Amino acid sequence: MALNALQIAQDHERPIFFPNLTSKNTTAKAFHDFMKVRDNGDAHRAYPSRVYSIYLQVLREVARRVELEPLDEIEMTLFAQAEVLARRAMSHPSGPEHFSAIAAE
């Protein structure tokens, strides 16, 4: 959720949307519905075998840029900020027409 939300909130030109995990959290559920509308329902079937490798590649790039070694620290930061980022993304002024999503699922 955090990586998807961050890309929307930061106006990423060609976001890579990762699959949303099932959650009982109301913000996560709302964000999942928000993402369904945003990717027009077809993006989440594009790369089913590459999700984890793309995810790790993104984390490694973040680690390199912020000069932080353990990937788990980045993952925990993303997890801790996921709800805040999701709310920010859902209130972002641009609509789905601004995104040409590349699905990571």
- Predicted confidence band at 92 (pLDDT cuts at 50, 70, 90)? confident
For the chain, what's the residue count? 105
pLDDT by residue (tens digit) across 41-90?
555 444 667 888 888 998 999 889 888 878 888 999 999 999 999 999 99
Q: Do residues 105 and 47 touch, judged by C-beta distance below 8 A? A: yes
The HSE-up count of residue 2 (CA atoms within 13 Å, CB side) is: 14
**How many domains is the chain built from?**
1
Q: Kindly state the tokens that stand for 105.
A: 């699922």
Write out the residue range of the structural domain in which residue 80 sits. 2-103
Q: Classify residue 70 as exposed, middle or buried by CB count within 10 Å of its CB (0-12, 13-18, 19+).
A: exposed
Rounded to two decimals, what is the model's pTM? Answer: 0.77
Q: Which residue has the higher pLDDT, 91 or 102?
A: 91
Q: Cα separation of 64 and 31, whole Å? A: 28
Q: Do residues 89 and 4 touch, judged by C-beta distance below 8 A? A: yes
Mean pLDDT value across residues 1-26: 85
- For tokens 């920010």, name the residue: 88
